[in-house]
Amino acid sequence: MSNWNKDLFINHLRDVCSREVAKIGVLIIEFTEKYADDISWGRGTDHGTLTFRCNSDEGPLPLFHMTSTGQLNLQINFMRNKEIPPMVIRDMVIKLEANFLRDYNAIEYPSDVFVPIDELFYTENQVVKFLKTMEGCTYRLKQ
């Protein structure tokens, strides 16, 4: 049973993060409620975790995790280890690299790590592009 829910998560996010990070976090939560096939809230005591999962041929697949302390974990390497069409991962990686100006290839990004939201998003346009990338990935995984 999870210790966290949407209201607790948002309250903690607003308490420990800047207003900008909390605003982005709320947008990601609203997006998750709209597009995720499965949402799970963490069981931790220090902070909450939100996991966005979508259905695929491999079963429910997590695309990202977000913490109530303002961090995001993209599940790129996790997806690389699944039987997912390479085109889906390649498309997602290219769009994320262009959006965040980071390398997500297997050499430069060998493991999925939590990154502070304020180090990923500098503009509202980046948030919109990230959400559109996740939406597109969700649709492609269901095909």
pTM of the model: 0.93
Q: What residue type is 135 in one-letter code?
A: E
Question: How much is the pLDDT for 69?
Answer: 97
Mean pLDDT calculated for residue range 45-63: 93
For residue 72, the model assigns a pLDDT of: 97
Residue 5 or 107, more confident: 5
Residues 6+ apart with CB under 8 A from 123: none
**pLDDT in the model for residue 107:** 86
Residue 136 has pLDDT above 90, yes or no: yes
Could you report the per-residue pLDDT of 74-122, keeping only the tens digit for each?
Answer: 999 999 999 888 899 999 999 999 999 999 988 888 899 999 999 999 9
Distance of CA 27 to the CA centre of its chain: 11
Name which of 128, 141, 124 is nearest 20 in CA terms: 124
